[in-house]
Amino acid sequence: MSQLSLRTLNRTYLERQLLLGRAARTPLETVGHLMGLQGQEPDAPYVGLWARLADFRHDGLTALLHDRSVVRAKLQRNTQHLVRAEDFRTLHPLLAPVLGKARQGAFGRAIHGLDTAELVGAGRELMSGDGLTRPQLGRALAARFPGRDALALAYAVQSLVAHVHPPPSGVWGHRGATPVVLAEEWLGRPMAEPPRADEVILRYLAAYGPAGVRDIQAWCGLTRLRAVVDGMRSRLRVYHDSSGRELFDVPGAPLADPDRPAPVRFLPPFDNLVLGHADRTRVIDDEDRRRVITGSEVRPVFLVDGFVRGIWSWRDGTLEVTPLRPLAPDEAAEVREEAGALLGFLPGPGGAGTAGRRRAVPAAGQVLIG
């Protein structure tokens, strides 16, 4: 049971998140490997894939949303994700109790006394076919259940009925009302049986490990996984971090060289890298975390030497980079170069929004390092 240094954990995590070197994988393979991309912000998964893949282009993900290979829906931690359609069919049944408790906890009083089966039946009927936006769904439900809050009804139904948000929801650059449709109608197949928790844990560890039980639970939202992991011990490698915390990993999964160089990477808001564990110190220290994660917001970050070193924003052709601590001259030069490549990927003045990652800083755009 070896002890792993912080840098070993950092480099191994970056390697498994495809952030030590851009991978020659397809977008669909990558979405599957990561078990979904965090997608509260519609453009975020595109930037997340740009940071991880060689020559990624916007239409590589947009096409997957339109051909229904990838769907946008609430899953892990009751938050929006882009996931492979096949993974949605299994993960949603597994996480359904978590999704239901979260929404019913928030709106339980507003729907108290309603017959759940009747509410679900009405919701399924209304979401069938072309579907509705959430406000439309709420108004239609309120007409059937007079005296009830429309928003509470809509959220309650969405917590109880498997649904997805079809395009243009989740498509690069789209802003507007979010449609909801029945998942099985959109996918053309019924929902699957829930997978065994140990199968999901093994997939999580392949992309996020080594990790502890609390990390696994924080990632998916499920609780009481200690007994499941304990039952898997004979199939797992066991490590400890520098504080003695027990970590688990997939047998045979290599650990990265702690001295391997880590390139600068820009990541979108809510990226998986920052949210994939309960203990996030392998990529961000606690002081910086409080500046990056405020309330329900997770700001876009950039990495230097494998760790979160600052935040960034983009508006009207200007990409503003704000280090949390001063950058050395060589670090600032690498940050500026990678920021310039990202600027070419973003839309607007100087960025056509269709370029690959190697585009230089366009004359009409600019990078500002604060």
Asked if residue 192 is part of any domain, the answer here is: no
Range of the domain at 295: 284-369
Domain co-membership, 56 together with 183: yes
187, 209, 241 — which closes off a domain? 187
119/179 Cα distance (integer angstroms): 19
Instruction: Output the pLDDT for position 254.
Output: 95
- For residue 308, give the nearest of 361, 271, 259, 254 by alpha carbon: 271
Asked if residue 23 is part of any domain, the answer here is: no
167 cis-preceded (ω within 30 degrees of 0)? no
Residues 313 and 361: beta-carbon distance below 8 Å: no
Residues present in the chain in total: 370
Asked if residue 330 is part of any domain, the answer here is: yes
187, 208, 235 — which closes off a domain? 187
Average pLDDT, the chain: 91
63/365 Cα distance (integer angstroms): 28
Instruction: Output the pLDDT for position 363.
Output: 41
Asked if residue 349 is part of any domain, the answer here is: yes
Helix (H, G, I), strand (E, B) or coil at 165: coil
Per-residue pLDDT at 309 exceeds 70: yes
Asked if residue 16 is part of any domain, the answer here is: no
Instruction: Output the pLDDT for position 106.
Output: 64
Domain co-membership, 52 together with 183: yes
The pLDDT tens digits of the residues spanning 227-285 come to 999 999 999 999 999 999 999 999 999 999 999 999 999 999 999 999 999 999 999 99
126, 156, 187 — which closes off a domain? 187
Q: Is 344 left (phi over 0), alpha (psi -120 to 50) or beta?
A: alpha
Domain co-membership, 60 together with 180: yes
The total domain count for the chain is: 2
- What is the value of pTM for the model shown? 0.92
Asked if residue 227 is part of any domain, the answer here is: no
Pair type for strands 318-323 and 366-369 = parallel
